[in-house]
Structure 1
Amino acid sequence: MADIADRGLQGGDGIDTFPFPVELSVGGVGMQVGPMGTGRTWHADAPLERVHRIDFHVVMLFGEGPVRHMVDFTEYEATSGDLLWIRPGQVHRFSPTSEYRGTVLTMQPGFLPRATVEATGLYRYDLPPLLRPDPAGLAGLRNSLGQLRREYEDTSTLPLSLHIAVLRHSLTAFLLRLAHLAASAESVSRRSDSTFTRFRDAVERDFATNHSVSAYADALGYSRRTLVRAVRAATGDTPKAFIDKRVVLEAKRLLAHTELPIGRVGAAVGFPDAANFSKFFHQHTDQTPAVFRAELR
């Protein structure tokens, strides 16, 4: 693995979060790209088998496999030519029994302008992390990533300001290819529109305090029917199911990686009553919060 994290931060929810180490990148820019391999390690406080959270993007292009890697409590198996895209805020875990070979790209939020962020879908958490390009798509991604790596390592040809500008353009070209692949990987090639995008962003911001579809519709200025149609077209789910999945994910993160009492976990995701939280969690996972926590300890 690449030397992605130099230190861990303890978030307010108790989950170890590792920041992007600007000081380790060539020239101190907001990205890194280089080889994966057994000669590199994570921070000593984050063993490979420990789940932790990152506040930056990681894209791994595998040169060998199979490799097993957990992202947000789902195990993915990647092989040569596959890519794994982990976004800020997601929890993940490396497999201590897998050999990671290939190229890894990391990027600090804020390195690219907002227009590029929107165009490349950097925060499309509804898209799958594991991507399997066809031969033509893989060739394009490898060429684009190779060009990005050459520009990243070339610190002598251009002044720093121009070097960073070229990096941003090269990174954008790679991410546009990657975003096209990610969008194409949706099970029925669904397209999201601005209605769903606004809803998705509102849920990400407010899921801990707002579980009401009608409240989101009113706040966004849509009818409930319009919201249902947009969310179903983009994800195949109802708005209520989309909200519930986000709440369950956060509850799992807190149960697995903090020592918060179950009642406080429930309160943190919008359930002041512990019994109601336990009922909700069991309904969506077929496990009680206590059993889920025990199985991961």
Structure 2
Amino acid sequence: MTGIGHQAEGDVIRTFPFPADLAVGGVGMQIGPMGTDHRWHVDAPLHRVHRIDFHVVMLFTGGPVRHMIDFAEYEATAGDLLWIRPGQVHRFSRESVYRGTVLTMQPGFLPRATVEAAGLYRYDLPPLLHPDPAQLAALHAALDQLRREYEDTETLPSGLHTAVLRHSLTACLLRLSHLAASAAETSRQHADSTFTRFRDAVERGFPTNHSVSAYADSLGYSRRTLVRAVRAATGETPKGFIDKRVVLEAKRLLAHTDLPIGRVGVAVGFPDAANFSKFFHLHTGQTPVAFRAELR
């Protein structure tokens, strides 16, 4: 590939484009076996945090595999699927052996109606999916068919080959979308309404409010009720849930911007830079400066 990754102003994580020159026939998708030599670009730092501007779907036939997406670690094993969407940061694990099928797709390869129907930009959906046996068999069949169409460049003219690929890819993505939406709905159905209200309040208020009591008061719950609901839904305490959200936002700001450490602290509710550094180190084992330096 001859192009280079690009960086937006102030962005310290490189973004790599879809490797169109590596695709069969130059189409806007690729599918094949995972391998240690697979990379988006000759300069892509697969074992360092980086961003891609296309979709990646990995269906595993082995494991366990640990993979970081948007600063959250996911563990996948045989039969699991990871879906990374454009713009998300991620990192491959040096310790894991990636086995299975990988599908990559350029955002503009499918028509808008298909993109919307398949929910390709539903960033609220979970990236790690666990298909049941029937769903897994259907996914394997759909991906095998897509791979055969992708590799067959002899039996159809170029234009028809691309059209068939789009249809086959659409079928795969509609299955994936249904699986992701079903997983999210199941999660929502199991979530206690008390926790759901708390989660939404934290999402709105975490930049300035880190107090469990303040959230309980504003929602009209006792502290004990809130503790029970959050622990049942997440296994964490309300304070742990709030702190995790604050740490995630701090990591995003440290990674995506060149804001001074003190400004990052203010953005997540710490007017004092020293207190922010202590908080960040307590929860990550690194100082904000060390975390940022590791990504560069």
Q: What is the TM-score when the length of structure 1 is the normalising length?
A: 0.71
Measure, in 2, the Cα distance between the counterparts of 1:129 and 1:111.
21
Q: Distance in 2 between matches of 1:52 and 1:146?
A: 29
Structure 1 match to 2:130: 132
> How far apart are 1:10 and its partner, in Å?
2.1
Q: Does residue 21 of structure 2 align to residue 8 of structure 1?
A: no
Identify the residue that residue 214 of structure 1 maps to in structure 2.
none
What corresponds to 1:149 in structure 2? 147
**Distance verdict in 2 for CA 1:284–1:109, change over 3 Å:** farther
CA contact (8 A) 1:82 1:133 kept: yes
* Superposition deviation, residue 160 in structure 1: 1.4
- Deviation at residue 184 of structure 1 after TM alignment: 1.3
Separation of aligned partners in 1, 2:260 and 2:87: 22
Q: How does 1:249-268 map to 2 (within 5 A)?
A: 251-256=250-255, 259-262=258-261
Q: CA RMSD in A?
A: 3.6
- Over 3 Å counting, the alpha-carbon distance change for 1:112 and 1:240 in structure 2 is farther
- State the alpha-carbon separation in 2 of the partners of residues 67 and 86 from structure 1: 15
Number of residue pairs aligned between Structure 1 and Structure 2: 250
- 1:291, distance to aligned residue in structure 2 (A): 3.1
Determine the C-alpha separation between the residues in 2 that align with 1:186 and 1:128.
Answer: 7
The DSSP-based 3-state class of the residue aligned with 1:53 is: strand
Pair 1:21–1:266, CA change in 2 (3 A) = farther
State the alpha-carbon separation in 1 of the partners of residues 263 and 22 from structure 2. Answer: 37
C-alpha distance in 2, partners of 1:285/1:87? 29
Residue 263 of structure 1 deviates from its aligned partner by 5.5
The structure number with the bigger radius of gyration is 2
Distance 2:68 2:157 in 1: 40
Residue identity opposite 1:104 in structure 2: V
Q: TM-score, normalised by structure 2?
A: 0.71
**Alpha-carbon distance, 1:151 to partner:** 0.6
CA contact (8 A) 1:183 1:189 kept: no
1:69–1:95 CA contact under 8 A, matched in 2 = yes
Secondary structure of the residue aligned to 1:92 is strand
Change beyond 3 A, Cα 1:275–1:40: same
Shift, 1:41, TM fit: 4.4
| CA-CA distance at 1:23 after TM superposition | 1.2
- C-alpha change, 1:283 and 1:295, in structure 2 (3 Å) is closer
- The match for 2:287 among 273, 291, 294 is 291
Q: Percent identity?
A: 68
Q: 5+ residue gaps in structure 2?
A: 207-243
The alpha carbon displacement at 1:135 in A equals: 0.6
CA distance in 1 between counterparts of 2:260 and 2:114 reads 41
Structure-to-structure mapping, 1:1-297, within 5 angstroms: 7-12=4-9, 13-41=11-39, 43-186=41-184, 188=186, 190=188, 237-238=199-200, 241=203, 251-256=250-255, 259-262=258-261, 275=271, 291-295=287-291, 297=294
| Larger displacement relative to structure 2 (257-266 or 117-126) | 257-266
The amino acid that maps onto 2:179 is: L
- Letter of the structure 1 residue corresponding to residue 68 of structure 2: M
Alpha-carbon displacement from aligned partner over 1:175-215 (angstroms, at most 9, x marks no partner):
11111111111263549xxxxxxxxxxxxxxxxxxxxxxxx
